[in-house]
Amino acid sequence: MRLRLLLILAALVGCVHRPASPETEAHRLPAGDNIVGSIHVGLGIPLDPDPLDDYFIDRRFLVASYNPKRRVVNWVAWRVVAADLGSVHRRDNFRPDGLLPLGFYRVRSIEYERTGFDRGHLCPSADRTSSREANDSTFLMTNVQPQLPSMNRGPWAELESYTRRLVRRGKQVYVVAGGTVSLLGTSRSSLSWSRSSRSRTSRCTPPSTRS
């Protein structure tokens, strides 16, 4: 069967590197889940020069690079095929990721209240409707970044719908989604977000921080 891929942006070619082999790549990965060989990173694993801000997590239905310093993911990667699209309805059960290691701050849904930002999915709920388990996995806070409502519910939602239309036409879609985040300040209990933008491409550099 011929494999057809969707490259959302040409930047993927320059930023994503296909591992030469599990043995070669394994020593480059920081502590965390071994995502080498995951179907979700079939185009390669986005890496930057600093491995200390990349804690790799594998949640079966998606994989991600989590930044423990900024308490948000650098990127999330997932594959979408026809079998992923079913009839399960979302139930908006946003929750902390309990599988993060001890010592990692676990962002809570309540921290988005009265911020003016949506809890923006990276891997969208609608891409994982084949089962309750799959859909619930998208509501982990490690799959969320702050997103302006006008973006999240407009152009971003339209792009998500477009990728699913491609899948229904018989294509396989590989997505790497990340964002840039500026933090005005952090505390043990809350994050103050100044702005966020997301693009469906791999990231070559970690998000910048403004003090």
Quick one: 189 exposed, middle or buried, by C-beta within 10 A (0-12, 13-18, 19+)? exposed
CA angle (20 as vertex; 18, 22 as ends), nearest 5: 100
CATH, domain range 11-199: 3.40.570.10
Using an 8 Å Cβ cutoff, are 35 and 63 in contact? yes
Domain ranges of the chain: 11-199
- The pLDDT assigned to 178 comes to 87
Using an 8 Å Cβ cutoff, are 41 and 63 in contact? yes
- Enumerate the active-site residues: 121
Residue recorded with tokens 């999240």: 152
Residue recorded with tokens 């089962």: 131
Helix H or strand E segment including 185: strand 173-186
Give the global pTM: 0.74
- The pLDDT assigned to 102 comes to 87
Q: Return averaged pLDDT per consecutive 10 residues of the chain, 211 residues in all.
A: 38 39 43 91 90 91 94 96 97 95 93 94 98 98 94 94 97 92 45 38 32 28
Q: Residue 178 has which token pair?
A: 């990340």
Using an 8 Å Cβ cutoff, are 73 and 178 in contact? yes
Q: What is the DSSP letter of 204?
A: S
- The pLDDT assigned to 51 comes to 81
Number of Cβ within a 10 Å radius of residue 196: 20
- The pLDDT assigned to 181 comes to 59
- The pLDDT assigned to 103 comes to 87
Rounded distance, CA 25 to CA 34, Å? 10
